[in-house]
Amino acid sequence: MTIPIKAYAHVRLTVTDIDASRAFYDSLFALPVAFEVPEGADEATREQLGFLYDGVIYQLGDSLLGLRPVADDTFSENRVGLDHLSFRVDGRQVLDDAAALLDGKGIGHGGVKDIGAAYILEFRDPDNIALELFAPKG
């Protein structure tokens, strides 16, 4: 017997500075916020939303992307856990435009690469988490 999974429900990244991470993700992706503790929330609301750890969860299509601000170290894809997070985009032109956007914001990247079946653009967030934009060919 196997478990019949259908898709990812959510991914949550642990970050060191929620303000820096939110500024980064908001400026690049402008995803709608699905969950966050409202400013001035009462204690009952804070308790109910305690799973956020004062972070944020964004809506990403049918999935969620969260930022959890409790890290006290730096990311390394060479440790057990996450290697990188890849976002699918619609075509090479989106990658070219994204590379220009990253350049304009002073965010380093590896340039658009042809990997055979797709094109990718690799870069890192403020915690050095490896991110990728992925555009399948055809």
End-to-end CA distance of the chain: give it in Å, rounded: 35
88 and 129 both lie in a single domain: yes
Q: How many structural domains compose the chain?
A: 2
Q: How far apart are CA 7 and CA 91, in angstroms?
A: 22
Please give the pLDDT value at position 53: 92
Tokens encoding 26: 């908001």
Whole-structure pTM value: 0.90
**Could you report the per-residue pLDDT of 39-64, keeping only the tens digit for each?**
999 999 999 999 999 999 999 999 99
Please check whether residue 92 is in contact with residue 112, taking contact to mean a CB–CB distance below 8 angstroms. Answer: yes
24 and 49 both lie in a single domain: yes
Please check whether residue 78 is in contact with residue 123, taking contact to mean a CB–CB distance below 8 angstroms. Answer: no
Query: Whole-number mean pLDDT of the chain?
Result: 94
**Could you report the per-residue pLDDT of 91-114, keeping only the tens digit for each?**
999 999 999 999 999 999 999 999
Assess whether pLDDT exceeds 80 at residue 71: no
Give domain status of residue 3, yes or no: no
Please give the pLDDT value at position 7: 86
Q: Which of 72, 97, 120 is the last residue of a domain?
A: 72
What CATH number is given to the structural domain containing 93? 3.10.180.10
Please give the pLDDT value at position 77: 82
Which is nearest to 68 in space by CA: 123, 127, 108?
A: 127
Split at pLDDT 50, 70, 90, the class of 81 is: confident
Split at pLDDT 50, 70, 90, the class of 13 is: very high
Q: Which domain holds residue 124?
A: 84-138
Q: How far apart are CA 88 and CA 45, in angstroms?
A: 34
Pairing of strands 109-114, 85-88: unpaired
Please check whether residue 118 is in contact with residue 134, taking contact to mean a CB–CB distance below 8 angstroms. Answer: yes
Pairing of strands 85-88, 130-136: parallel
18 and 68 both lie in a single domain: yes
Give domain status of residue 2, yes or no: no
